[in-house]
């Protein structure tokens, strides 16, 4: 597998940048801790005038971006000042984005090349040249989540979804326009109704739309037992603990819709619900109703992922990875 990755990397770099590339095993790798040698293969390379060390991941399973950053930092003192470049055969768009945030140079052959020393950020498979909105509206996100979580590869007709989720026909029409602008669906007529059928698997659609999806959480409120809590859905770290090996947080996290959140503020006042030192309950106020896709009183995995993906805690990152790895598409 590692030799195959190197061959693909050579073709990708030379074909994309049009510069000479030389690769040979790196002798310095012999002095690294065993767990690093077991997990990676190390090569010395020269890309144009850039001397670097390639850290090539073995196997198909992805490490968390935070863990990759730690491993790169462990190799750095032994690299003699040369640039370090992480290489993996496949990597989710989410993890690629997090590595960029972590300022880790990487190459995913055929997909993306992010080389800080050369000022290179080239994207192949996922590059977009279009005029869509930077992120979907809450109603459009509901339509997409419906397709990924409930629908057998197709979106129902506009009026059917408007009725099912309590949106007006006008709002749903705008949501469909946003969805159509992404070019993810083929339109067909079935029983005199227009339907949209996915172009690809649900996992592929999820990865292609991640950059357009936003966290459903628009504000967080904090409550002690004296507050008469509304009916909510288990969310946040409380929900993640249900979907992974993460320990239960000290406070319980509930999610409610925006309307319920406004009623809470009207009843108790914003100040009374803004004390972060109150750790009994954390109430997430969502831009759409969290119960729409909840199962057994717990928010759905995709919305939960979106609500927590910017967390920098390594334990949360690992738990999110476990949750998504076990997702049944």
| Mean pLDDT value of segment 215-222 | 93
**Position 156 confidence tier, pLDDT thresholds 50, 70, 90:** low
**Position 1 confidence tier, pLDDT thresholds 50, 70, 90:** very low
**Position 132 confidence tier, pLDDT thresholds 50, 70, 90:** very low
Torsion of CA 251, 252, 256, 260, to 10 degrees: -70
CA distance 313 to 175: 34
- The predicted-structure confidence for 245-258, as pLDDT tens digits, reads as follows 999 998 899 999 99
Residue 41: its pLDDT value, please? 92
Write down the mean pLDDT value for the chain.
85
Higher pLDDT, residue 167 or 299 = 299
Residue 129: its pLDDT value, please? 37
Q: At what angle do helices 65-75 and 314-325 cross, to 10 degrees?
A: 120
Higher pLDDT, residue 218 or 14 = 218
pLDDT at residue 306 tops 90: yes
CB 48 within 8 A of CB 118: yes
With pLDDT > 70 as the criterion, what percentage of the chain qualifies?
A: 89
Residue 223: its pLDDT value, please? 84
pLDDT at residue 48 tops 70: yes
| Mean pLDDT value of segment 4-11 | 87
Non-local CB neighbours of 212 within 8 Å, separated by 6+ positions: 132, 133, 134, 135, 136, 182
CA distance 223 to 225: 7
The 3-state secondary structure of the chain, one letter per residue: CHHHHHHHHHHHHHHHHCCCEEEEECHHHHHCCHHHHHHEEEEEEEECCEEEEEEEECCCCCCCHHHHHHHHHHHHHHCCCCEEEEECCCCCHHHHHHHHHCCCCEEECCCEEEEHHHCEEEECCCCCCCCCCCCCCHHHHHHHHHHHHCCCCEECCHHHHHHHHCCCHHHHHHHHHHHHHCCCEEEEEECCEEEEEECCCHHHHHHHHHHHCCCCEEEEEEECCCCCCCCCEECHHHHHHHHCCCCCCCCEEEEEEHHHHHHHHHHHCCCCCCCCCCCCEEEEEECCCHHHCCECCECCHHHHHHHHCCCCCHHHHHHHHHHHHCCCC
Residue 292: its pLDDT value, please? 93
| Mean pLDDT value of segment 210-234 | 87
Residue 131: its pLDDT value, please? 41
Chain centre distance of CA 251? 25
**Position 260 confidence tier, pLDDT thresholds 50, 70, 90:** very high
CB 1 within 8 A of CB 59: yes
CA distance 227 to 273: 9
Tokens 């629908």 belong to: 151
pTM over 0.75, yes/no? no
Residue 127: its pLDDT value, please? 41
What are phi and psi for residue 313, nearest 5 degrees? -70, 125
**Position 111 confidence tier, pLDDT thresholds 50, 70, 90:** confident
CA distance 18 to 48: 9
């Amino acid at each position: 597998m590692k030799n195959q990755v190197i061959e693909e990397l050579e073709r990708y770099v030379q074909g994309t940048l049009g510069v000479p590339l030389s690769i040979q095993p790196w002798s310095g790798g012999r002095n690294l801790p065993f767990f690093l040698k077991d997990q990676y293969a190390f090569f010395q390379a020269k890309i144009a005038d850039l001397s670097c060390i390639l850290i090539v991941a073995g196997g198909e399973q992805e490490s968390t971006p935070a863990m990759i950053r730690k491993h790169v930092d462990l190799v750095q003192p032994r690299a003699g000042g040369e640039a370090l470049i992480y290489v993996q055969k496949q990597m989710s768009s989410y993890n690629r984005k997090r590595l960029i945030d972590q300022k880790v140079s990487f190459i995913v052959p055929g997909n993306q090349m992010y080389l800080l020393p050369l000022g290179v950020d080239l994207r192949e498979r996922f590059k977009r040249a279009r005029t869509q909105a930077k992120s979907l509206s809450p109603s459009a996100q509901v339509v997409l989540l419906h397709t990924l979580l409930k629908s057998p590869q197709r979106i129902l007709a506009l009026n059917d979804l408007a009725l099912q989720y309590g949106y007006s026909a006008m709002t749903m029409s705008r949501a469909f326009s946003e969805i159509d602008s992404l070019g993810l669906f083929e339109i067909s007529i079935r029983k005199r109704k227009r339907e949209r059928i996915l172009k690809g698997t649900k996992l592929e659609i999820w990865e292609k739309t991640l950059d357009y999806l936003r966290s459903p959480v628009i504000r967080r409120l904090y409550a002690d037992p004296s507050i008469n809590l509304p009916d909510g859905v288990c969310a946040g770290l409380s929900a993640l603990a249900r979907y992974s090996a993460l320990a239960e947080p000290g406070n319980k996290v509930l999610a409610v819709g925006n309307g319920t959140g406004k009623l809470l503020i009207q009843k108790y006042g914003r100040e009374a619900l803004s004390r972060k030192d109150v750790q009994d309950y954390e109430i997430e106020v969502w831009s759409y109703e969290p119960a729409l896709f909840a199962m057994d009183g717990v928010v759905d995995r995709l919305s939960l992922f979106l609500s927590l993906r910017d967390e920098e805690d390594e334990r949360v990152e690992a738990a999110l990875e476990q949750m998504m790895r076990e997702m049944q598409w």
